[in-house]
């Protein structure tokens, strides 16, 4: 094609008079310009290759987390790192290799780290940092990594498998293993969420001690600066649990600070306290229970009476299904009680007057719990005037009550709800739900649309609700459509386990119903109310419009007081549900505000509090993790190098120059000089023709 084009160009632009120098020059300019146009159209590249050698690359990866501040001997751990970085051995290494020095904590940090951030990383993730380093130095000839850390890896995946795939030997230099610290840590506390004035509140504290002989000490409980309780404790090396109590003298919401005073010679006091939330009510709660005799009713009644903070008033039908005359009057006067429980109560007993009274009872800020059954078909669901009070409704067609084995599961998104076990032992409780025997019967129902209902437990196969809740006015309503929970408790004991999961479910259900909440279009929740600094905080927001319909498309932003520039955008996960993760808060109680906006001018807001009870996860375990450092080195093909032998090891390293090919590519297209040449060629040709009268 280029040959044909060249022939045509020659025939068109060939000199008309042989031997004319001007015509030859003009023809040459035109050909050069045309050739340059063709080359630019082909987008040519100029490639320059140079072969040579370069020094191998050695990375120095430094743990920048707060645990490097822990005392080791006479000074903090980071003193050892600073000494190594200033050593002659490392300076000599720079003559034989290229040195890349980087820091890490939760992730690999950039080279321009501010002085205020050094040794202040909130957590340690060695695995992520190694992965990011591998990506960063790809193709740079990495010959090895010196990992300077105490091995206190506390977030992210296990770094040992990551080191095996790293592609270069890791030489682990454990920091802080020479002098184990002396320390007492308050690892965790367990505070009940609800208590009553004049009633004892039991608190459990877990202590972890290192380098401590048997010492008589004490634990203190504070409300602000006011001391609520002082309990003696004998501190011993290792882990121990201490139980003590105090009696509140006033109602209200309290943030309790449980602390153990600093011991003489203790290296770290930032892990000596934890915070917890407690709501104290003015008096014992009044509960009214009406039900038909059954093992399930007996189990619920035992759970209620085991709580000394409750006063339980009961009306039980006879074995022949006859109900005492006083039931009607008690239900009409339900406002005298903080919680009303209807356990398998027949629909025929729930008149329009009683249903209206129960509605007023709930909207005034009290609780209602309805347990289904064979006789009831769930009160308030069978066409009663106030049937929209409950979060579920009966399925039309077929039997409303089914007796068969019913396998269950916790509904997606409900794992953090306090009824199901949010708190210190939430993991064991949630795991326990998976091992419960199936229910034996259920009322066939479906979730009621448009009332902001939440399903906590559902049928495994169909997703039909078994336990559902909702907020109504200032009160709360819960429905348990499944039966056979007393059998679950009995069978768990029969296999050598306990009924802890079932028992806690009913106790926490009652506790949740007794705490007052306002109905809100925007409902914000977290997995728990107390966290450690550096711990991931999952935030979930449920958004409804004025008709309590889920809002699917909205902008939802969370802002923490005092940090206006660190707003967290909650992403939409499903219908009306938004979530996100928060991290980086310091110790103390933090207020937050969530604002949601959607099309049509809709807007809703919510406020809440979070307590960061531990200065940092970095102080959870003060001992250096030398075994992890050894495993990282072994799997990567490296070895452990202690601080004393570092100079000798560096001196023994064989670091041969690496063959290296440098490739430089220049794109001719897009540069200025081809355009300049092209203009000059066409301009010169035109100027010559113009000056000679040829145009």
Q: Are residues 414 and 439 in the same domain?
A: yes
* Sign of the alpha-carbon dihedral angle for 679, 681, 687, 689: negative
Domain that holds residue 124: 53-179+623-659
CATH number at residue 571: 2.60.40.1930
What sign has the CA pseudo-torsion 359, 361, 366, 372?
Answer: negative
Q: Of 617, 647, 678, which closes a domain?
A: 617
Q: What is the CA radius of gyration of the chain?
A: 37
Confidence of residue 147 (pLDDT cuts 50, 70, 90): very high
Same domain, yes or no, for 107 and 235? no
Provide the CA 327 distance to its chain's centre, in angstroms. 48
Domain check: are 365 and 256 in the same one? no
Burial 29-67 (b: 16+ CB within 10 A, else e): bbebbbebeeebeeeeeeeeeeeeeebbbbbbbbbbbbb
Q: pLDDT > 70: what percent of the chain?
A: 81
User: What's the average model confidence in pLDDT over 653-665?
Assistant: 83
Structural domain contains residue 293: yes
546: confidence class by pLDDT, cuts 50, 70, 90 = low
pLDDT of residue 494: 77
Task: Give the confidence band of 382 by pLDDT, cuts at 50, 70, 90.
Answer: very low
DSSP type of residue 388:
G
pLDDT at 197 over 60: yes
- Is 664 within a domain? no
Check residue 48 and give its pLDDT: 81
The residues, any chain, with a CB within 8 Å of residue 19's CB and separated by 6 or more, are none
Mean pLDDT across the chain: 81
pLDDT tens column, 69-112: 887 777 788 899 999 999 999 999 999 999 999 999 989 997 77
Q: Does residue 7 sit in the same domain as residue 152?
A: no
Query: What is the average per-residue pLDDT within 572-583?
Result: 82
The DSSP element (H or E) to which 673 belongs, if any, is: helix 672-691
Residue 451 has pLDDT above 80, yes or no: no
3-state helix, strand, coil in the chain (%, to 5): 25, 35, 35
Strand 310-316 and strand 285-291: the pairing is parallel
Burial class (CB in 10 A: 0-12, 13-18, 19+), 409: middle
CA–CA distance from 680 to each of 653, 684, 687, 690, 695 (Å)? 60, 6, 10, 15, 18
- pLDDT, position 640: 94
CB–CB of 581/537 below 8 Å?
Answer: yes
Average pLDDT over residues 454-471: 91
Task: Tell whether the model's pLDDT for residue 319 goes beyond 70.
Answer: no
Cα–Cα distances (Å) from 591 to 227, 258, 560, 608, 612, in that order, read: 24, 21, 6, 6, 11
Asked if the model's pLDDT at residue 495 lies above 80, the reply is no
Spatial strand order of the sheet with 183-190 comes to 183-190, 201-210, 238-246
Flag the least confident range among 43-57, 75-89, 373-387, 680-694.
Answer: 373-387
**Cα–Cα distance list, 7 to 12, 35, 678 (Å):** 9, 13, 21
Residue 252 is encoded by which pair of tokens?
A: 């209200």
556 and 432 belong to one structural domain: no
Q: Looking at the structure, do residues 575 and 445 belong to the same domain, yes or no?
A: no
C-alpha distance from residue 345 to each of 139, 320, 367, 483, 489 (Å): 74, 14, 17, 14, 23
- H-helix or E-strand containing 629? helix 626-636
Q: Is residue 306 part of a domain?
A: yes
Of 476, 577, 488, give the one whose Cα is nearest residue 518. Answer: 476
CATH number at residue 642: 3.40.50.410
Evaluate whether 288 touches 330 at the Cβ level (below 8 Å).
yes
Per-residue pLDDT band at 368 (split at 50, 70, 90): very high
Tokens read off for 449: 């649309």
Give the Cα separation of 190 and 618 in Å (integer): 21
The percentage of the chain sitting over the pLDDT mark of 90, rounded to a whole number, equals: 25
294 and 439 assigned to the same domain: yes
Q: How far, in Å, CA of 410 to CA of 418, rounded? A: 13
pLDDT of residue 14: 55
CB-CB contact of 102 with 61 (8 Å): yes
Query: End-to-end alpha-carbon separation of the chain, Å?
Result: 31
Residue 33: inside a domain, yes or no? yes
pLDDT computed for residue 424 by the predictor: 45
Residue 391 falls inside a structural domain: yes
Name the 3-class secondary structure at 305.
helix
pLDDT beyond 80 at 584: no
Q: Which of 37, 61, 46, 202 has the alpha carbon at shortest distance from 144? A: 61
d(CA 509, CA 371): 12
432 or 502, higher pLDDT: 502
The pairing of strands 285-291 and 339-343 is parallel
Q: Shortest CA distance to 172 belongs to which of 180, 185, 163?
A: 163
Taking only the tens place, the pLDDT of each residue in 35-51 is 766 666 666 677 788 88
Q: Does one domain contain both 563 and 633?
A: no
The answer to whether residues 169 and 61 touch, using CB atoms and an 8 Å cutoff, is: no
* CATH number assigned to the domain comprising residue 193: 2.60.40.10
Q: Would the pLDDT of 599 be above 90?
A: no
Q: Which domain-ending residue is among 255, 281, 307?
A: 281
**Shared-domain flag, residues 131 and 69:** yes
| Domain total in the chain | 5
**pLDDT surpassing 90 at residue 641:** yes
Instruction: State yes or no: pLDDT of 522 exceeds 90.
Output: no
Calculate mean pLDDT across residues 453-460: 90
Calculate helix-pair angle for 426-433, 500-514, nearest 10 degrees. 120
Same domain? For 235 and 91 the reply is no
Domain termination residue (choose one: 555, 590, 617): 617
3-state SS assignment for residue 360? helix
113-138 as b/e: b if 16+ CB within 10 A: eeeeeebbbbbbbbbbbbbbbbeebe
- The predicted-structure confidence for 340-354, as pLDDT tens digits, reads as follows 999 988 878 888 888
The answer as to whether 165 is a domain residue is yes
Mean pLDDT of all residues in 7-24: 56
Q: Can you give the pLDDT at residue 384?
A: 45
Give the pLDDT band (50/70/90) at residue 686.
Answer: low
What's the pLDDT band for 133 if we cut at 50, 70, 90?
very high
CA dihedral 177, 181, 183, 186 (to 10 degrees): -20
CA 302/CA 4 separation, integer angstroms: 102
Which has the closest alpha carbon to 594: 566, 570, 563?
Answer: 570
Residues 370, 480: contact at Cβ < 8 Å? yes
**Region 533-547 average pLDDT:** 73
If asked whether residues 107 and 161 sit together in one domain, one would say yes
| The pLDDT of residue 156 is above 80 | yes
Nearest Cα residue to 424 out of 221, 123, 192: 192
Name the most confidently modeled range: 355-364, 423-432, 674-683: 355-364
Rounded (5°) CA angle 518-524-527: 120
Rounded Cα gap, residues 227 and 682, in angstroms:
93
Residue 665 lies in a domain: no
pLDDT at 534: 62
Given this model, what pLDDT does residue 142 score? 93
Contact 145, 169 (CB under 8 A): yes
Between 22 and 108, residue with greater pLDDT: 108
Return the pLDDT at 381. 44
Let me know if 553 is exposed, middle or buried by CB neighbors in 10 A (0-12, 13-18, 19+). Answer: exposed
Specify whether 501 is located in the same domain as 547.
Answer: no
């Amino acid at each position: 094609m280029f040959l044909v084009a060249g022939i045509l160009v020659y025939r068109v632009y060939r000199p008309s008079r042989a031997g004319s120098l001007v015509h030859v020059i003009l023809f040459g300019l035109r050909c050069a310009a045309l050739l340059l146009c063709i080359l630019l159209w082909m987008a040519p590249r100029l490639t320059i290759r140079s072969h040579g050698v370069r020094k191998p690359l050695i990375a120095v990866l430094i743990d920048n987390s707060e645990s490097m501040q822990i005392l080791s001997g006479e000074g903090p751990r980071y003193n050892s790192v600073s000494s190594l970085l200033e050593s002659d051995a490392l300076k000599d290494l720079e003559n034989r290799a290229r040195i890349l020095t980087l820091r890490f904590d939760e992730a690999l940090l950039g080279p321009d780290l501010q002085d205020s951030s050094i040794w202040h990383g909130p957590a340690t993730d060695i695995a992520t940092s190694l992965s990011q380093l591998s990506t960063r130095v790809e193709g740079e000839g990495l010959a090895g990594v010196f990992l300077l850390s105490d091995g206190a890896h506390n977030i992210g995946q296990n770094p040992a498998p990551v080191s095996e795939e790293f592609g270069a030997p890791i030489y682990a230099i454990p920091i802080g293993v020479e002098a184990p610290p002396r320390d007492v840590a308050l690892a965790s506390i367990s505070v009940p969420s609800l208590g009553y004035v004049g009633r004892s509140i039991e608190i459990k504290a877990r202590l972890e001690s290192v380098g401590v002989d048997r010492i008589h000490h004490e634990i203190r409980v504070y409300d602000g600066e006011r001391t609520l309780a002082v309990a003696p404790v004998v501190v011993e090396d290792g882990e121990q649990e201490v139980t003590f109590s105090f009696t509140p003298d006033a109602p209200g919401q309290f943030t309790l600070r449980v602390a153990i005073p600093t011991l003489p010679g203790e290296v770290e006091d930032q892990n000596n306290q934890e915070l917890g939330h407690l709501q104290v009510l003015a008096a014992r709660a009044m509960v009214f229970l009406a039900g038909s005799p059954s093992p399930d009713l007996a189990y619920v009644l035992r759970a209620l009476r085991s709580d000394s903070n409750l006063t339980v008033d009961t009306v039980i039908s006879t074995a022949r299904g006859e109900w005492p005359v006083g039931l009607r009057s008690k239900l009409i006067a339900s406002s005298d009680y903080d919680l009303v429980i209807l356990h398998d109560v027949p629909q025929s007993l729930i008149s329009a007057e009683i249903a209206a009274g129960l509605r007023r009872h709930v909207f005034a800020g009290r609780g209602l719990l309805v347990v289904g059954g064979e006789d009831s078909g769930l009160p308030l669901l069978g066409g009663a005037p106030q049937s929209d009070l409950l979060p579920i409704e009966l399925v039309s067609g077929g039997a409303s009550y089914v007796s068969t084995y019913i396998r269950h599961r916790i509904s997606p998104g409900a794992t953090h709800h306090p009824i199901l076990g949010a708190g210190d032992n939430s993991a064991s409780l949630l795991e326990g739900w998976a091992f419960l025997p199936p229910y034996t019967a259920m009322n066939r129902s479906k979730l009621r649309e448009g009332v902001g209902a939440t399903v906590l437990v559902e049928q495994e196969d169909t997703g039909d609700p078994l336990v559902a809740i909702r907020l109504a006015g200032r009160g709360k309503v819960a429905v348990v459509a499944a039966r056979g929970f007393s059998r679950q408790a009995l069978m768990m004991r029969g296999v050598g386990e306990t009924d802890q999961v079932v028992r806690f479910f009913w106790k926490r259900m009652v506790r949740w119903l007794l705490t007052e909440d306002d109905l809100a279009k925007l409902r914000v929740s977290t997995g728990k109310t107390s966290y450690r600094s550096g711990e991931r905080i999952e935030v979930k927001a449920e958004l409804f419009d004025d008709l309590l319909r889920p809002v699917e498309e909205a902008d939802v932003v969370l802002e923490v007081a005092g940090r206006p520039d660190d707003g967290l955008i909650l992403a939409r996960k499903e219908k009306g549900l938004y979530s996100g993760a928060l991290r980086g808060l310091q110790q103390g109680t933090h207020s937050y505000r969530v604002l949601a906006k959607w099309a049509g001018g809709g807007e809703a807001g919510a406020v809440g509090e979070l307590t960061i009870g531990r200065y940092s996860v970095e102080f959870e375990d003060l001992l250096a993790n030398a075994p992890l450092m050894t495993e990282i080195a072994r799997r990567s093909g490296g070895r452990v190098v202690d601080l004393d032998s570092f100079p000798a090891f560096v001196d023994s390293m064989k670091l041969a120059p690496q063959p290296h090919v440098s490739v430089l590519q220049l794109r001719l297209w897009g540069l200025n000089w081809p355009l300049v040449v092209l203009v000059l060629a066409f301009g010169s040709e035109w100027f010559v023709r113009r000056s000679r009268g040829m145009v």
